[in-house]
Amino acid sequence: MTYGFLLESIWHPPLIFAENTGSALPPELELQAVWFAGGFGRSFRTTSGKKVEIVQFGEWNRSSGPDFIQAAIEIDGELKTGPLELDSKSTDWEQHGHATNPAFREVILHVVFQSDGRQTFTRTDVHREVPQVVITEPLLSDALNRPQREVAIAHPGRCVAPLRNLPVGAIDRLLGEAALHRAAMKATRWLKAEDAHGRDAALFQATAETLGYRGNSLAMKLLAQRAPFSLLKGAEPAVESILFGTAGFLSADLHQSAPADTREYLRTLWDTWWKHRAYFEASWDRSIPWKTSGQRPANHPHRRVGALSALVKDGLNIVAWHWRDLSK
């Protein structure tokens, strides 16, 4: 028995067990991070059937307006450059006021993750139609590495029949296949990030995400996307300040309320950060969602950002990493 056969055996329950609704969507910020990492791929079809290829994912917009700026796409072979907007639902464009907001006038693509089935017209304030792409539920579930349903349709006990008569050796091989299956899924997601931004950026984002552990993996991933390795490489003296500032952990008067032995250190961070903040600092509504409660002291976001900074400052050159060591 193979792992694929086992999945097929337990995945088709009687219809009485099937759920009618899929999982609730995660926050838009998480969807945006997965999109920017290339998690949904680069090739799509608009709701009108046109072929879309993402040439460049652009960069995060740190102020008001569309989610991403300076992106490049091809629609039926025609190159277009400009901002992209992601919304949870197809109706959010109108409900959020984008249709009457001049800041969204140049949007070249509207990406949504749920559609109510009705045909919607994504229009700008000058009544130009914006091409729309709907991310399907299977693609969404695969990119987020989660089940398509909130309630499992394969109830406990469904594995018993296929496994009951297997010898121990066969079960061991099956578990090994399951591990390889999981590793292959992770490798696929990593390769999508590499395809979207290159190996250096993919490794940097993966390193940051891993440092965040479960509680702050998304936050660290966002940090690595908003302060990309390509920019940090050329700003080594300011790396620590840029990372802590982009994370939202620095303020002008922070050093005044700090213990005496850290005041000079914090003041130095701020004095360096303010020179770079105009480019890296995000508006309050785009702040990174850090989780500080319930974290062990060593896992606190301050420690995790400090660890990422230390890796870069101490000469972390991802190009020079030993690829064989990383791939073990």
pLDDT score of 8:
63
Q: Which DSSP string do the residues of 47-78 spell out, in sequence order?
A: TTS-EEEEEE--EE--SSS-SEEEEEEEETTE
**Which residue do the tokens 């791929």 mark?**
41
In a domain, residue 193? The reply is no
In a domain, residue 308? The reply is yes
* pTM score: 0.84
Distance, in Å, from the CA atom of 325 to the CA atom of 315, rounded to the nearest integer, reads: 17
List the chain pLDDT tens, one digit each, 328 residues. 677 666 666 555 444 344 444 568 899 999 999 999 999 999 999 999 999 999 999 999 999 999 999 999 999 999 999 999 999 999 999 999 999 999 999 999 999 999 877 777 899 999 999 999 999 988 998 898 775 555 555 566 767 777 788 888 888 898 899 899 888 888 888 899 999 999 989 999 999 999 999 899 999 999 999 999 999 988 888 999 999 999 999 999 998 888 999 999 999 999 999 999 999 999 999 999 999 998 899 999 999 999 999 988 875 554 445 444 554 5
- Beta strands 68-75; 78-89: pairing state: antiparallel
Which residue range(s) make up the domain with 12? 3-17+153-185
The tokens of 168 are what?
């121990």
Question: What is the C-alpha radius of gyration for the chain, rounded to an integer number of angstroms?
Answer: 23
Query: Does one domain contain both 213 and 308?
Result: yes
**Which residue do the tokens 């001049």 mark?**
102
In a domain, residue 10? The reply is yes
Query: Does one domain contain both 32 and 135?
Result: yes
Tell me the residue length of the chain. Answer: 328
The tokens of 255 are what?
């050093």
Query: Does one domain contain both 205 and 320?
Result: yes
Query: Does one domain contain both 209 and 304?
Result: yes
Query: Does one domain contain both 133 and 158?
Result: no
Other CB atoms closer than 10 Å to residue 175's CB: what's the count?
A: 11
Identify which of 328, 92, 322, 316 has the alpha carbon closest to the alpha carbon of residue 208. Answer: 316
pLDDT score of 159:
74
Residue 109 host element (H or E): strand 109-114
Query: Does one domain contain both 274 and 178?
Result: no
In a domain, residue 22? The reply is no
In a domain, residue 269? The reply is yes
Domain count, the chain: 3
**Which residue do the tokens 């398509």 mark?**
148
**Which residue do the tokens 């993919």 mark?**
202
Identify which of 301, 55, 8 has the alpha carbon closest to the alpha carbon of residue 159. Answer: 8
- Out of 133, 164, 185, pick the residue that ends a domain: 185
CB 218 within 8 A of CB 33: yes
CB 25 within 8 A of CB 196: no
pLDDT score of 94:
94
In a domain, residue 177? The reply is yes
3-state secondary structure 264-303: HHHHHHHHHHCCCHHHHCCCHHHCCCCCCCCCCHHHCHHH
pLDDT score of 233:
85
Query: Does one domain contain both 172 and 223?
Result: no
88 SS3 class: strand
- Out of 80, 112, 144, pick the residue that ends a domain: 144
Query: Does one domain contain both 93 and 75?
Result: yes
Query: Does one domain contain both 206 and 287?
Result: yes
Distance, in Å, from the CA atom of 181 to the CA atom of 312, rounded to the nearest integer, reads: 32
Hey, which bits of 61-211 come out as E strands?
A: 68-75, 78-89, 109-114, 132-134
* β-sheet bridge partners, residue 265: none
In a domain, residue 237? The reply is yes
In a domain, residue 140? The reply is yes
Query: Does one domain contain both 204 and 274?
Result: yes
Query: Does one domain contain both 217 and 265?
Result: yes
- Out of 128, 161, 185, pick the residue that ends a domain: 185
**Which residue do the tokens 């109510």 mark?**
116
The tokens of 86 are what?
């992601």
Query: Does one domain contain both 35 and 119?
Result: yes
